[in-house]
Amino acid sequence: VARLLYISASPKRDLSVSRRLAARFLAAYSTRHPEDEIDELDVFAADLPAYGADHAIAKFALLFREQLTEAQGAAWQEVIGQIDRFKSADKILLACPMWNYSIPWPLKQYLDCIMQPGVTFGYDPQKMIHLGLLANRPVQFILTRSSIMPGDYADFQLPYLRYAFSAMGLNDLRVVSAWQTTKPSAEARAAYVETFVPQVEAAAAAF
Ligand SMILES: Cc1cc2nc3c(=O)[nH]c(=O)nc-3n(C[C@H](O)[C@H](O)[C@H](O)COP(=O)(O)O)c2cc1C
């Protein structure tokens, strides 16, 4: 039995295109793997650590073997809890809209939490490169955006997600990008979403 962590990053719930495509992906996936466990982490609804001073100081204090205050220790425990949940996934599905050329802020908050030197990634100062510390595993991105085409120079969503995940050692990154998703009527939107379903179902079959 595998554990699939489904990270969703749109606050629009039932009106979200990325969530709708992810639901189709999961329906196709669950038909093939009915026993697998799906763990959903909605970054807008989850009580993510409000990553601030204690977290930021604890991050480097641990690296330099300095003493943590009680508040910093508690902040670090929150971080480790989120990393444990992420690490325990055999497969990861991320559904994410583009927000201002990049990713929605709670997803950035989540990545700030789980991207930790010495825990999820290392650094080689000689070669000046990041080294992933997590075991590789399949990751499916389902990305949405309106006007910015995949491959556009203004796309800071996919290149950023690619870099962040591979910095942690996750290199098996699969991508379905839907674009021009903003349509004037609910009917037009629903029909347009359908055009991406074959890609999403093919991705689920290969997952
Ligand atoms: C705050 C906000 C910022 C957005 N910024 C961009 C953008 O920079 N480029 C773009 O192509 N679409 C942008 N969009 C459009 C969304 O990416 C698009 O509607 C997408 O389908 C939303 O996915 P969702 O329905 O899953 O939330 C933005 C939407 C919102 C709400």
Contact 181, 127 (CB under 8 A): no
In Å, what is the CA distance from 174 to each residue of 18, 50, 60, 154? 15, 30, 32, 20
Q: Is 44 in the pocket of ligand 1 (CB under 6 A)?
A: no
Contact 134, 120 (CB under 8 A): yes
- What is the C-alpha separation between 187 and 148, in angstroms, rounded? 22
Look up residue 11 and give its two tokens: 């606050």
Q: Is 88 in the pocket of ligand 1 (CB under 6 A)?
A: no
Q: Is 148 in the pocket of ligand 1 (CB under 6 A)?
A: yes
What pLDDT sits at residue 62? Answer: 86
- What is the C-alpha separation between 65 and 58, in angstroms, rounded? 10
**Residue carrying the six token digits 């991705």:** 203
What pLDDT sits at residue 182? Answer: 87
Look up residue 195 and give its two tokens: 């055009």
Summarised one tens digit per residue, pLDDT across range 60-83 is: 998 888 999 999 999 999 999 999
Q: Is 13 in the pocket of ligand 1 (CB under 6 A)?
A: no
**How many A from CA of 99 to the centre of ligand 1?**
5
Strand 91-97 to strand 3-8: parallel, antiparallel, or no bridges (unpaired)? Answer: parallel
Q: Sign (positive/negative) of CA torsion 157, 158, 159, 163?
A: positive
Going through 18-171 in order, the beta strands assigned E by DSSP cover 37-42, 91-97, 121-124, 129-132, 138-144
Contact 28, 204 (CB under 8 A): yes
Give the CA count within 13 Å in the CB-facing half-sphere of 83.
20
pTM of the predicted structure, to 2 decimals: 0.96
What pLDDT sits at residue 184? Answer: 87
**How many A from CA of 54 to the centre of ligand 1?**
32
Average pLDDT over residues 151-178: 97
| Paired strand residues for 124 | 129
Contact 177, 124 (CB under 8 A): no
What pLDDT sits at residue 101? Answer: 98
**How many A from CA of 97 to the centre of ligand 1?**
6
Average pLDDT over residues 179-194: 90
Give the count of beta carbons closer than 10 Å to the beta carbon of residue 13: 11
Summarised one tens digit per residue, pLDDT across range 78-109 is: 999 999 999 999 999 999 999 999 999 999 99
**How many A from CA of 2 to the centre of ligand 1?**
32
**Residue of 8, 42, 99 with the most ligand 1 atoms within 8 Å of its CB, for mutation:** 99
Contact 161, 96 (CB under 8 A): yes
Strand 121-124 to strand 3-8: parallel, antiparallel, or no bridges (unpaired)? Answer: unpaired
**Residue of 24, 100, 153, 157 with the most ligand 1 atoms within 8 Å of its CB, for mutation:** 100
